[in-house]
Amino acid sequence: MLSKEYSDLPEPTTWWPSDVIDAIYASLTAEERLILRAITNGETNSQIAARLGIAEKSAEKHITRLFAKIGVSVRTKAAVFYTLWAATHQARAGT
């Protein structure tokens, strides 16, 4: 679930502080990060399941838990969250 510290924030937008995005992203497992990137790239649940070698129903459960952790309700907002995180890290790296 979205950390209690951040639970009063609305779904991610460009004004979310980068430290909030970083803290939430840091709490994700490697598998959740992979799923988040796959969602951002437009992969379907079926494609994500194949990538992970699991059943599609299992992929759906993983996605539901991921959405709860990052505080979103739809794929588009998950993609916005990841894009904001990636943009912050590219800016820090100077790329």
In tens, the pLDDT along 62-95 reads: 999 999 999 899 999 999 899 989 988 766 665 5
- pTM of the shown model: 0.79
Mean pLDDT value of segment 27-33: 96
Label residue 13 by pLDDT band (50, 70, 90). Answer: low
Which residues neighbour 60 within 8 Å (Cβ) at sequence distance 6 or greater? 45
Q: 73-89: b or e for each residue (b if 16 or more CB lie within 10 Å)?
A: eebebbbbbbebbeebe
Q: How far apart are CA 28 and CA 18, in angstroms?
A: 16
Residue with tokens 């904001």: 84
